[in-house]
Amino acid sequence: MTNVTELSKVKAYGNVIDGKIMHTGESMESVNPATGEVWATIPLSQKNEVELVTQAARGAFEDWADLPARTRGDYLRKIGDMLSQHATELLELETKNNGWVLDEHAYLAEVLKQLWYDAAGGAALVGGQGRTVQMGTDDFGFTLRKPYGVVVGILPWNAPLFTFTIKAAYALAAGNTIILKPSEHAAVACLRYGELISDILPKGVLNVISGYGKDIGDDLVAHKEVDKVSLTGSIATAELITKATAHSPKSLLFELGGKSPNIVFEDADIEQAAQGVMNGIFTRNAGQICSSASRILIQRSVFDEVIERVKEMMTKKDAVRMGDTLDINNSMGPIANIVQYKKVCSYIDETANDEYEVVFGGRYGGDVLLPNEPKFANGFWVEPTLVKAKDQTQKLCREEIFGPVGVAIPFDTEEEAIELANDSTFGLAAGVWTQDLARAHRLIDKLNAGNVWVNTYFRVAADLPFTGVKESGYGTDSILDYTYEKACVMTIK
Ligand code: NAD
């Protein structure tokens, strides 16, 4: 296994297949979004590598599934332990990959460990999730939770190590083997993570293959040896996967995008709510989180007060510190790649239209935002931007921007707030700011979202499910979702 000791050099990373690091074909360059510089290369795999990786995962399946669940748990615990030694290296790679400031990533080391330990504990309990069924005295009915077989986990660029872990830890705990396909925009940390993990697991149990979705996506997801596909990504990719698997249907799990509302009522603690509005969208990875609160619905009676408070907080000196993403003192990173950068900039250009009023922000470009630091001139930097919209019909209120751009929209009544919040093709998350307990419960009941947070936001943890409704997807990366329930009957008369 290789060691990454000099992160400053352009290093070539390989796929992790059947316990070996391999790649013989074409590669592509990985770009640091803070500087626009090439810093690593990753494999652009093709069909032959899809064959190798699916054979490896299939070959390892039976032995892995046949292990006592507790033994699988012991393996997963060792992976958690490994992170104590390697988390810093992995998080630095990810920061160079997708621009999340290291400060944001520091907490991730603990989260990743927790997920492996949670899955390790759950592995031993998976058998207990079967049921016994009363069928009279002549028959004995029961169900077993069984692994699907080979799982393909497809990862987005915004949170590679996190999404790698929630898919791998729970799929493996349930007795599946897994193939991870990271995004072509951020594969390095995942390739290295795969190397480290495959040193711990039996060969073929966990594999990582990098490449474009257009080159290997269809072959991978539609492969006859693949039993389940779990995607975290966009609705467009979910549609392609659904089409590719239509002729040999298999279990699908989709964690997709959002346009989540953060709803502030006049009875809220305004200081706390303004903080919640700010933290919900102006995150340390520049708003590139699926559940970011990009639609800010504020009751008209407190609309100006909340907006003014958010503006004060965001525009005070040093509120947002951009710069070297590996410097723990900086608080907001760039957009993760050039494709997404152009997309976010095009939405910012829209704010010049009469239908919007810019409260703050609206600029982009390393040369504009970091004029004294020439090494960031070609980086993908965007200023946190808040705009007001008169109503919710406009483009910025409806489409997922996936950047540090919030749109504030006024409402008058609770009914209107619920109607506006639910008037979206997405249903991932929602925030509610109120001190009225009855109202909080009414909103929890009526909001069409997989996650509702009251007087808080972004409460995602190993002990909570995370799922969406509508075009935000379905299913949860959990041990149960990586098993099917086998119904069994024994006649005993
Ligand atoms: P994307 O859909 O463009 O890419 C995701 C992955 O799919 C990549 O690895 C890509 O290579 C792969 N892919 C592309 N075409 C494919 C095909 N035909 N077959 C198989 N795989 C294919 O998404 P992205 O731009 O990387 O990520 C951003 C999106 O992810 C946003 O919509 C965001 O909201 C969503 N997201 C959701 C969650 C969640 O938990 N709900 C978390 C993070 C990100």
Give the tens place of pLDDT for each residue, 158-214. Answer: 999 999 999 999 999 999 999 999 999 999 999 999 999 999 999 999 999 999 999
pLDDT in tens, 22-32: 988 899 999 99
pLDDT in tens, 51-68: 999 999 999 999 999 999
pLDDT in tens, 319-360: 999 999 999 999 999 999 999 999 999 999 999 999 999 999
Render the burial of 439-462: b for 16+ CB within 10 Å, e for the rest.
bbebbeebbbbbbbbbeebbeeeb
For residues 329 and 190, what is the distance between their CA atoms, to the nearest angstrom? Answer: 25
pLDDT for res 56: 98
pTM for the full model? Answer: 0.96
Does residue 233's CB lie within 6 angstroms of at least one atom of ligand 1?
A: yes
Burial class (CB in 10 A: 0-12, 13-18, 19+), 134: exposed
Does residue 152's CB lie within 6 angstroms of at least one atom of ligand 1?
A: no
Per-residue confidence band for 120, with pLDDT thresholds at 50, 70 and 90:
very high
Cα 213 to middle of ligand 1, angstroms = 9
pLDDT surpassing 80 at residue 89: yes
488 carries an active-site annotation: no
pLDDT surpassing 70 at residue 7: no
- The amino acid at 57: A
Nearest CA-CA partner of 467 in 446, 481, 454, 488? 481
| Cα of 10 vs its chain's centroid, Å | 27
Query: What integer is the mean pLDDT of 3-7?
Result: 41
Query: What integer is the mean pLDDT of 424-437?
Result: 98
Query: What sign for the dihedral angle of Cα 378, 384, 387, 392?
Result: positive
pLDDT for res 462: 86
Does residue 450's CB lie within 6 angstroms of at least one atom of ligand 1?
A: no
The set of residues, in sequence order, having a beta carbon less than 8 Å from that of 183 and lying 6+ positions away, is: 155, 156, 157, 160, 233
For residues 153 and 39, what is the distance between their CA atoms, to the nearest angstrom? Answer: 25
Q: Ligand 1 test: best mutation among 152, 154, 424, most atoms within 8 Å of CB?
A: 154
The set of residues, in sequence order, having a beta carbon less than 8 Å from that of 358 and lying 6+ positions away, is: 351, 385, 386, 387
290 carries an active-site annotation: yes
Domains contained in the chain, CATH given: 2-256+473-488 (3.40.605.10), 261-462 (3.40.309.10)
pLDDT for res 2: 39
Does residue 403's CB lie within 6 angstroms of at least one atom of ligand 1?
A: no
Q: Ligand 1 test: best mutation among 42, 152, 181, 183, most atoms within 8 Å of CB?
A: 183
Cα 152 to middle of ligand 1, angstroms = 13
| CA 347 to each of CA 249, 296, 344: distance values in angstroms, whole numbers, following the listed order | 37, 17, 5
Cα 156 to middle of ligand 1, angstroms = 4
pLDDT for res 128: 65
Nearest CA-CA partner of 404 in 294, 306, 316, 315? 294
Cα 455 to middle of ligand 1, angstroms = 30
- What average pLDDT does the chain have? 95
